[in-house]
A and B are shown apart, each in its own frame.
Chain A
Amino acid sequence: MYLLFCAGYIGILFFMQLLVGNAGLYLPFCAFGIFYLSVADSWRKAIFVALVAGTAIDSLYSRNVIITPFALCAIALYGQFWIRHYNSKHLVESIIPGILIPNALLIPLWLHRFYSTGFSLYQIKSALSMFIFTCAFGAAFLPLLIVTLDSIADLLRMSKYSDAKKQLLESRR
């Protein structure tokens, strides 16, 4: 049942990312879902999903270099770092990963783009506007996503993001 729940929200976020990408917006919905999975459940599942989703995204876009699966794996591991050093109950703190997660994906993509198409003021302007917009969106979206998925997880009686810290401390005892 939990696998269905994970597959469901990761799948929805994956297609939302593709649909929004068709409009010219880069919004890493999938990355936020993987971060949630890593914190709320298991980093191993998150890494598996990261590899599959990242490979699918790079294959669909026919990118010359595989970047997304590794960036998503880094986000999955960041989720574990986050839960060990911060309290998952405080939603406001989740603004920080909401800002950092898009950077983990955009920095390698744009570095590759600068390398292949050249480095110019126009490119820098495009990159900066994408960075700023995506980070601002992430800061607002991630807490909303956590609240939404936590309420659904609560209904289905599954592990939640907000209880992750508590569960981690209990498992250490």
Chain B
Amino acid sequence: MPWIKGKSFIKVSYLLILAALVIVVAAAGFDTLRTVAFRISSGFFYPYLSLPASGKYIIADRSLLLHSRSELAAALEKQQKTNRSLAAKAAVVAELAVENEELRRLLKLKPRPDYNYIAAEIILRDPVNWQEGFVISKGRADGIKEGTPVLCFTNGDSKEPILTGIVKNTSKHSAQVTSVISPHFRISAYLTESKSYGFLNVDDQQRRDPGKVNISYLPTGHEYKLGQRCVTTGFERKVPAGIDIGRLSEMLTSNSAFDNNLYESGIVDPMVNLENIHFVLLPVFTDKTENKER
């Protein structure tokens, strides 16, 4: 019967059009909902994801009791010695900070931004995009905001903090971090020996090596020595200046006739070891001028 065939065909067509519409709307809404989806899902799953970490700490605390008294006393003494040395250094720095504030006040300069430091643990990582980002155990409730830098000390001996990434998204108790190796990590950078400013990961046409970061828009006419430190500039309001990002490993020479030759590009080898990182430090920016206005 032809009208039944026609009806089935129309029904199938309507279903296909509806399915296509649903897919288009879902895809279009995804960008908007992605932030919301992360906050809802990480907030919902946070108690379960933090359970293994809590269990680990309980076991670690209990295992301390298995050590002998002399071992514990020796460890305590060593820690007290370190604390005394750090307290002495902090006292010198505090004096310098007070002097700096006074001089800034006299010169009528804006006060230096202040930072509160928050330690966090990595609770979730995508095994497919292992080095591109991770989720940490602190969120908005702890004062973490989008754009907060994430630092680490790559190994126990390192005394200088290293830039690991930037907070991309926050929920109440967790935050998503984009690492320095991610192609979406964009920040200004400074080469210390060449005294030049550049930008990381802004040139999508530049060759990308795995585990490396691209630096672009470096001024021509400078000598770029390989191995020099690449640090943060402080141009980004929440990111302190002078934090190590990596070392310049290669300068790219362009031979194309279409290059404007106004800028140079290079590759930076990041100092952070993202394979084996568990704890990070977040300097949370506190603006003294905002606080005074309030």
Contact surface of A with B, Cβ cutoff 8 Å: 15, 18-26, 55-56, 58-64, 66, 106, 109-110, 113, 116-118, 120, 122-123, 130
In the complex, B236 has a CB within 8 A of chain A: no
Q: Across the interface, do B210 and A60 meet the contact criterion of CB distance under 8 Å?
A: no
List 23 contacting pairs A-B, 8 Å CB cutoff, sorted by A: A15-B48, A19-B52, A20-B127, A23-B127, A24-B130, A25-B127, A56-B45, A59-B34, A59-B40, A60-B38, A60-B45, A60-B124, A62-B38, A62-B126, A62-B133, A66-B26, A113-B129, A117-B132, A117-B183, A117-B208, A117-B210, A118-B209, A120-B210
CA distance A63 to B133 in the complex (A): 10
CB B57 to nearest CB in A, in angstroms, measures 16
Q: Across the interface, do B127 and A21 meet the contact criterion of CB distance under 8 Å?
A: yes
| B129 contact set on A, CB distance < 8 A | 61, 63, 113
| A56 contact set on B, CB distance < 8 A | 41, 45
CB B143 to nearest CB in A, in angstroms, measures 21
CB B3 to nearest CB in A, in angstroms, measures 29
Q: Which residue of A lies closest to B176 (CB)?
A: A62
Within 8 A of A (CB), among B258-289: none
CA distance A120 to B176 in the complex (A): 27
Q: Which residue among B49, B123, B210 has the maximum number of chain A CB atoms within 10 Å of its CB?
A: B210
Among A15, A60, A64, point to the contact of B42 (Cβ < 8 A). A60
CB B267 to nearest CB in A, in angstroms, measures 13
Task: Tell me the number of A-to-B contacts counted with CB atoms below 8 Å.
Answer: 74
| A130 contact set on B, CB distance < 8 A | 127-128
Q: Across the interface, do B128 and A109 meet the contact criterion of CB distance under 8 Å?
A: yes
Interface size class on chain B is 20 to 34
Given the known interface contacts A22-B124, A117-B210, the answer about A60 and B130 at a Cβ–Cβ threshold of 8 Å is: no
Q: Across the interface, do A22 and B123 meet the contact criterion of CB distance under 8 Å?
A: yes
Q: Which residue of B lies closest to A55 (CB)?
A: B37
Among A18, A24, A117, A122, point to the contact of B124 (Cβ < 8 A). A18
Q: Which residue of B lies closest to A119 (CB)?
A: B208
| B209 contact set on A, CB distance < 8 A | 118, 120
Given the known interface contacts A18-B49, A56-B41, the answer about A63 and B126 at a Cβ–Cβ threshold of 8 Å is: yes
Q: Which residue of A lies closest to B128 (CB)?
A: A109
Q: Across the interface, do B208 and A21 meet the contact criterion of CB distance under 8 Å?
A: no
| A58 contact set on B, CB distance < 8 A | 37
Q: Which residue of B lies closest to A22 (CB)?
A: B125
CB B219 to nearest CB in A, in angstroms, measures 26
> For chain B, what secondary structure do more than half of its interface residues adopt (helix, strand, loop), or is it mixed?
mixed
CA distance A122 to B211 in the complex (A): 10
| B48 contact set on A, CB distance < 8 A | 15
Among B49, B127, B169, B211, point to the contact of A62 (Cβ < 8 A). B169
Q: Across the interface, do B127 and A26 meet the contact criterion of CB distance under 8 Å?
A: yes
In the complex, B30 has a CB within 8 A of chain A: yes
| A120 contact set on B, CB distance < 8 A | 209-210
In the complex, B168 has a CB within 8 A of chain A: yes
Given the known interface contacts A59-B40, A60-B38, A60-B41, the answer about A21 and B126 at a Cβ–Cβ threshold of 8 Å is: yes
Q: Which residue of B lies closest to A58 (CB)?
A: B37
Q: Which residue among A20, A62, A123, A130 has the maximum number of chain B CB atoms within 10 Å of its CB?
A: A62
| B34 contact set on A, CB distance < 8 A | 59, 62, 64
CB B183 to nearest CB in A, in angstroms, measures 6
Q: Which residue of A lies closest to B133 (CB)?
A: A62
CA distance A33 to B168 in the complex (A): 32
| A20 contact set on B, CB distance < 8 A | 127
Given A59-B42, A117-B183: 4 more A-B contacts, CB < 8 Å: A60-B124, A62-B126, A109-B128, A117-B210
In the complex, B135 has a CB within 8 A of chain A: yes
Q: Which residue of A lies closest to B52 (CB)?
A: A19
Q: Across the interface, do A59 and B183 meet the contact criterion of CB distance under 8 Å?
A: no
CA distance A70 to B50 in the complex (A): 28
Q: Across the interface, do B208 and A59 meet the contact criterion of CB distance under 8 Å?
A: no
Q: Across the interface, do A61 and B126 meet the contact criterion of CB distance under 8 Å?
A: yes
Q: Interface readout for B104-137 with A: 1 if CB under 8 Å, 0 if not?
A: 0000000000000000000111111110110100
